[in-house]
């Protein structure tokens, strides 16, 4: 069955279109045609590619690491969709290995039960720097053994899609092993020097996790990982534009330097009192053991913040939440675009950047 969608404007990921209709068949975009009266038309609104959140920990008082089950993933996906994100990467912070294995099982169960919206699993830690652990529990942080890594990768084959690690903590042999499983390595929670970080980016690490946060800072005599990210010509990095993790001026500076290499994550968590990460809602952010531990962002709020407080044009704000995360995952022909053959995942927003409707998945 064909579905026809129109709005005042349509953003394809590459350009703005007017007087056009997106034709959808079987959850795929079939074509884009001139406006027709039989289309569902959204007034005072625009259609854009649905957003993609590559780092989120839980929702609805079910932190995924504490509740490695289908219902926790459903709540997480529902939260993402409320903010315009049709796709997400549930994330598990530094923990015991049995937690990682249970989370892998939960994703498999969710998929086997027909669940949609979950692209895979993002494991953040425990192979990180204790000095830059942030809210991560120090007792679980360690340098991994080769067999330890291989066992996890084998068990999580096809499920683990991103691993955040500190490159100075892991050998090149381990990094090469992870890459051989077609997993994206993101450098984060790292105290690497500028030279160490640059070498890692030149040797297979394609991304960095939440720019500025939990990494060696940019200093004039020691540029650190922040300097390596800003000065590299290929590595992409996530950033959390909530006004708490990063000052909006620092987001603006990074955007001017990195351009299309900078993308958004929410880093959102949920209220919980158990486990290693007792996240407590504090204003419009979360704290764990007195430390900033996660955001209360949605992707739609991130778009609004980027435009209103960071001086980012709407076109780029939308790409930072859709096309660029898709590029990180090497899925830019499938997600983050409105074009024939792509997934028919779209978000309808009004001029206040509020989500009016989600379409497809």
The pLDDT score that the predictor gives to residue 145 is 96
User: Per-residue pLDDT tens for 260-318?
Assistant: 999 999 999 999 888 888 888 888 889 887 888 899 999 999 999 999 999 999 999 99
Q: In whole angstroms, give the CA distance from residue 180 to residue 312.
A: 36
Residues of the chain with CATH 3.20.20.140: 51-328
Strand partners, 166: none
The pLDDT score that the predictor gives to residue 275 is 81
Q: Does residue 164 contact residue 156 with C-beta atoms inside 8 Å?
A: no
Q: Does residue 335 contact residue 345 with C-beta atoms inside 8 Å?
A: yes
Q: Does residue 268 contact residue 64 with C-beta atoms inside 8 Å?
A: no
What mean pLDDT value characterizes the chain? 96
The pLDDT score that the predictor gives to residue 291 is 85
Residue 360 reports pLDDT greater than 90: no
pLDDT above 90 covers a percentage of the chain that reads 91
Residues of the chain with CATH 2.30.40.10: 2-48+340-359
Residues 80, 251, 95: CA angle, nearest 5 degrees: 50
Residue 186 reports pLDDT greater than 80: yes
Is residue 267 among the annotated active site residues?
yes
CATH topology of domain 2-48+340-359: Urease, subunit C; domain 1 (2.30.40)
Q: In whole angstroms, give the CA distance from residue 317 to residue 174.
A: 35
CA of residue 22 relative to chain centroid, distance? 26
Residue 361 reports pLDDT greater than 80: no
Residue 253 reports pLDDT greater than 90: yes
CATH topology of domain 51-328: TIM Barrel (3.20.20)
Q: Does residue 336 contact residue 52 with C-beta atoms inside 8 Å?
A: yes
Predicted TM-score (pTM) above 0.95 = yes
Among 71, 98, 242, 267, the one annotated catalytic: 267
User: Per-residue pLDDT tens for 62-91?
Assistant: 999 999 999 999 999 999 999 999 999 999
């Amino acid at each position: 069955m064909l579905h026809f969608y129109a709005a005042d404007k349509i953003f394809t990921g590459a350009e703005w279109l007017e007087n056009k209709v997106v034709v959808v068949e079987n959850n795929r975009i079939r074509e884009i045609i001139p406006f027709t009266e039989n289309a569902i038309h959204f007034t005072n609104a625009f259609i854009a590619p649905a957003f993609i959140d590559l780092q989120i920990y839980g929702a609805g008082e079910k932190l995924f690491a504490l509740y490695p089950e289908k219902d926790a993933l459903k709540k997480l996906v529902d939260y993402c969709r409320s903010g315009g994100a049709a796709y997400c990467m549930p994330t598990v912070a530094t923990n015991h290995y049995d937690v990682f294995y249970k989370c892998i099982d939960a994703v498999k169960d969710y998929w086997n039960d027909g669940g949609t919206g979950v692209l895979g699993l993002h494991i953040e830690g425990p192979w990180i720097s204790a000095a830059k652990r942030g809210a991560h529990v120090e007792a679980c942080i360690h340098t991994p053994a080769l067999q330890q890594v291989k066992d996890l990768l084998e068990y999580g084959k096809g499920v683990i899609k991103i691993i955040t690690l500190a490159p100075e903590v892991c050998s090149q042999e381990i990094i090469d092993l992870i890459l051989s499983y077609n997993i994206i390595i993101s450098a984060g929670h790292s105290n690497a020097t500028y030279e160490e970080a640059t070498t890692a980016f030149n040797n297979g690490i394609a991304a960095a996790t939440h720019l500025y946060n939990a990494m060696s800072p940019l200093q004039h005599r020691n540029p650190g990982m922040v300097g390596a990210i800003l000065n590299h010509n290929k590595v992409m990095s996530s950033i959390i534009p909530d006004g708490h993790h990063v000052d909006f001026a620092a987001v603006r500076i990074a955007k001017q330097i990195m351009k299309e290499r900078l993308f958004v994550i929410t880093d959102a968590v949920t209220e919980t009192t158990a486990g290693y990460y007792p996240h407590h809602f504090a204003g419009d952010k979360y704290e764990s053991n007195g430390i900033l531990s996660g955001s209360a962002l949605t992707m739609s709020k991130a778009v609004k913040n980027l435009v209103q407080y960071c001086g980012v044009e709407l076109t780029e704000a939308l790409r930072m939440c859709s096309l660029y995360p898709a590029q990180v995952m090497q899925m830019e022909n499938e997600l983050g675009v409105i074009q024939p053959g792509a997934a028919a995942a779209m978000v309808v927003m009004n001029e206040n950047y509020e989500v009016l409707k989600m379409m497809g998945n």
